[in-house]
A and B are shown apart, each in its own frame.
Chain A
Amino acid sequence: MIKSFKPALSAVALSLAMLSQGAAAAEEQFFPLIDYRVGPYGSNGQAFYGGFIDYLNYVNLKEKGVNGVQMTYEECETEYNNAKGVECYERLKSKAAKSAGPLHTMSTGISYALIDKSAQDKLPLAMMGYGRTDAVDGSVFPYAFPLVTTYQMQASAIVKFLKDKNGGSLAGKKIVYLYHDSAYGKEAIVALNAEASLNKFEMVQIPVAHPGNEQGAQWLKIRQEKPDFVIFWGWGVMNQTALKAAQKVGFPRDKMIGSWWTGSEEDVVPAGDAAKGYMAATWNVAGKQVPVIADIEKVVYGAGKGNLQDPSKIGTILYNRGVSAAVLSVEAIRKGQEKYGKGKALNGEQTRWALENLNITDARLKALGATDLLPEIKTSCDNHEGSGKVKIQQWDGAKWVPVSGWIEGNKGLIHPLFQASAKQYAKEKGITPRDCSKEK
């Protein structure tokens, strides 16, 4: 009897050995992608997540993963809908239990909905250029990362740019803040108010109701106010409508400066000539002159593994933003492996540590072929932002052209606002903040 079982037992033992070997060979770093490619903002998502996935594939093809660990992902479509975002999170979180890169939702609403859940599940939530900005204070928000820069620091950097343009003073000037009447649009008000009282300029707030496809009254009001500049916080159709409406009332576009969600090709091309001269902030540059972008096209699309259906989007602002987000995410995995073991996939807790200990210098960006694609980043427990810098770019009618170097917002003015807000949040939620001096 035992004899007759022998071959079967040997086969089972062999299979198990092969399986374990296979598992070791196929170490994978999983990225749960809560994304959107259809719906009202589908084209934005296509470019961003196309860039993100292309970079993951690029790392797999170019260097066979990070120390042999292959980058993998699964997408779940949210259509930019908060409820669907939560549903996607619930669907992907079990898969992310063992190995998880940062979550990228590219939606402030979905990020807000996930901020508590992801902390409970120990899955790090990256909010690059969106989301809850007081999460800069990592002592209260250990799992949330508004990486690179925030709305408030961006607003402060825009004011700094305008100040430099005006010979170092904005005293007595009038600036209209035209914004999407939502949490996103209101985020920058606190920073602009602080800047207005510091720099002695007058700020006039003009909200636009969602979706913003009609702004006749607002622009007539702007014409009446005769501002020196318009700082513009739009989203979606509101952006093209504002540019066209500015043209209609004869407001010069080179005195309009927008946030990074008003500064992609998708925002200006539909406005045609009305967009020429318009400026916007950005935390990543456009174009294929960035070596890594050109190399992705060569390596990934050359191998027929490109994610974009329309490769003409390669090098656009949002595509390059997706690549930038992936660069930071992969660098976090690299950093984490230095601590937790090279060639091993990181779980959510380990990735969180890595995101909190990023130090991406210009030299490292150069080594990655990402010189000037995004600013240097150095994160810590009490600074989940890590940079606070933006560039200002101008639309010349065909492409975005940078018209400034990296500009850092007034950290001394803005970061205490985050800390006060985070403290309030901790009080409301009964959270005991971590002691950042003990974190390494």
Chain B
Amino acid sequence: MNFFLEVLIGGLLSGVMYALVALGFVMIYKASGVFNFAQGAMVYLAALSVVGCMEKGAPLWMAIILAFIIMTLFGIATEKFVLRKLVNQPPIALFMATIGLAFFIEGLAPMIFGSEPRALELGIVDEPIPWILDNWNMVISKFDLVAAGVAAVLVATLALFFQYTRVGRALRAVADDHQAALSIGIPLQHIWAIVWGVAGFVALVAGMMWGARNGVQFALTFTALKALPVLILGGFTSVPGAIVGGLIIGASEKLAEIYIPPVMQDLFGGNFGGIEGWFPYVLALLFLLVRPEGLFGEKHIDRV
């Protein structure tokens, strides 16, 4: 039972890390109806900007501010040079543009900051909390708890921003219908620039947490793979959905990795481990059959 709880809690905390990446996707989708294929690359760019600035001599706090400025400028440039010409185009055109953007970032970022993997020290050691280890014989990492706290603050801030600010409401209007939003005077260009800037900030937070955990390197772009099943489960338009989806995916994949392979081995022989790469996708696909819009996604209803 103790081991089960340890795996469950470890999985939930890993899920928070997935949710941090998923939040960036939600931001863009919520405000523009676009699935941003470049979100993983943005996480990489953001983390690389932080370590790149630190290597040039900036202290951590300044490197974070500089990286935020870089991500904001990147968001504005994306709106100006990529998205502006695509207003009112089918969503697939915007999606294709983000694929191009992802490859562009993946090529450009290492050219500017170098491609060698680097450490990012945030001052939080990824070690078990001794008190829990001694009393409960369970490994709960300090780092994972800090990440969970960061995610909670981020989600609360974004939820409030979308729900209660004028800009937040404008973002949602733009997501519903570009043309209708324009017709009532919502400045689409400004809104898109803001939303890409905010998605850049979310990418910065995710990049720092993942970078501190596994090193800053190209593989940060793969974090997007972990976010996709989270989005399917939580819904593409829901900020709390990203968190809940992350928790479900994190916990279920860890439990599956521990408990399913021995059963399969008993039944069929051989080695069935390493399933956490595909298990979340199977879970998400099964979930799609029951609830296509996700747990918290908006139901799509067309009048006929």
The answer to whether A and B interact is yes
- Interface set of A (CB-CB < 8 Å, partner B): 38-43, 46, 181, 205-211, 213-214, 216-218, 220-221, 223-224, 236-237, 240-241, 244, 247-250, 266, 269-272, 274, 310
Q: B168 contacts the other chain (Cβ, under 8 Å)? A: no
Chain A binding surface SS class: helix
Interface pairs (22), CB distance under 8 Å: A43-B116, A46-B115, A181-B273, A205-B273, A209-B277, A211-B222, A213-B214, A213-B226, A214-B226, A217-B7, A217-B258, A223-B139, A237-B222, A240-B215, A244-B126, A248-B128, A250-B139, A269-B119, A270-B119, A270-B214, A274-B126, A310-B116
B127 touches A217 (CB 8 A): no
Which of B121, B215, B257 has the most A CB atoms < 10 Å from its CB? Answer: B215
Which of B6, B13, B226 has the most A CB atoms < 10 Å from its CB? Answer: B6
- Find chain B residues with CB under 8 A from A240 CB: 117, 214-215, 217
- Chain B 271-304 residues near chain A, CB threshold 8 A: 271, 273-278
Q: B96 contacts the other chain (Cβ, under 8 Å)? A: no
A237 touches B3 (CB 8 A): no
Given the known interface contacts A43-B116, A209-B275, the answer about A248 and B141 at a Cβ–Cβ threshold of 8 Å is: yes
B127 touches A213 (CB 8 A): no
Q: B254 contacts the other chain (Cβ, under 8 Å)? A: yes
Given the known interface contacts A249-B128, A270-B117, the answer about A220 and B213 at a Cβ–Cβ threshold of 8 Å is: no
Interchain nearest-CB distance for B245 vs A (Å): 16
List the 9 closest A-B pairs by CB distance, nearest first.
Answer: A270-B215, A209-B277, A237-B219, A207-B274, A181-B274, A217-B257, A43-B116, A207-B273, A270-B117
A310 touches B114 (CB 8 A): yes
Interchain nearest-CB distance for B124 vs A (Å): 12
B218 touches A269 (CB 8 A): no
Interchain nearest-CB distance for A419 vs B (Å): 25
Interchain nearest-CB distance for A199 vs B (Å): 21
A224 to B221, CA, bound (A): 31
- Find chain A residues with CB under 8 A from B79 CB: none
A272 touches B14 (CB 8 A): no
A248 touches B258 (CB 8 A): no
Instruction: Give A316's nearest chain B residue, CB to CB.
Output: B116
Which of B119, B275, B278 has the most A CB atoms < 10 Å from its CB? Answer: B119
A216 touches B117 (CB 8 A): no
- Find chain B residues with CB under 8 A from A247 CB: 126-127
A248 to B213, CA, bound (A): 11
**Total B residues in contact with A, Cβ cutoff 8 Å:** 46
- Chain B 201-244 residues near chain A, CB threshold 8 A: 210, 213-219, 221-223, 226
A240 to B210, CA, bound (A): 12
A42 to B254, CA, bound (A): 31
Partner of B107, one of A38, A181, A236, A250: A38
A214 to B10, CA, bound (A): 11
A268 to B215, CA, bound (A): 10
Interchain nearest-CB distance for B271 vs A (Å): 6
Instruction: Give B10's nearest chain A residue, CB to CB.
Output: A216
- Interface set of B (CB-CB < 8 Å, partner A): 3, 6-7, 10-11, 13-14, 107, 110, 114-119, 121, 126-128, 133, 139, 141, 143, 210, 213-219, 221-223, 226, 253-254, 257-258, 271, 273-278
Partner of B3, one of A39, A224, A269, A310: A224
- Find chain A residues with CB under 8 A from B107 CB: 38
A220 to B138, CA, bound (A): 10
B273 touches A206 (CB 8 A): yes
- Find chain A residues with CB under 8 A from B3 CB: 220, 224
- Find chain B residues with CB under 8 A from A206 CB: 273
Instruction: Give B142's nearest chain A residue, CB to CB.
Output: A248
- Find chain B residues with CB under 8 A from A271 CB: 119, 215
A221 to B114, CA, bound (A): 36
B214 touches A237 (CB 8 A): yes
Instruction: Give A245's nearest chain B residue, CB to CB.
Output: B126
A206 to B213, CA, bound (A): 21
A216 to B14, CA, bound (A): 8
- Find chain B residues with CB under 8 A from A274 CB: 126
Interchain nearest-CB distance for B111 vs A (Å): 9
Interchain nearest-CB distance for A266 vs B (Å): 5
Given the known interface contacts A216-B10, A248-B126, the answer about A272 and B139 at a Cβ–Cβ threshold of 8 Å is: no
A244 touches B213 (CB 8 A): yes
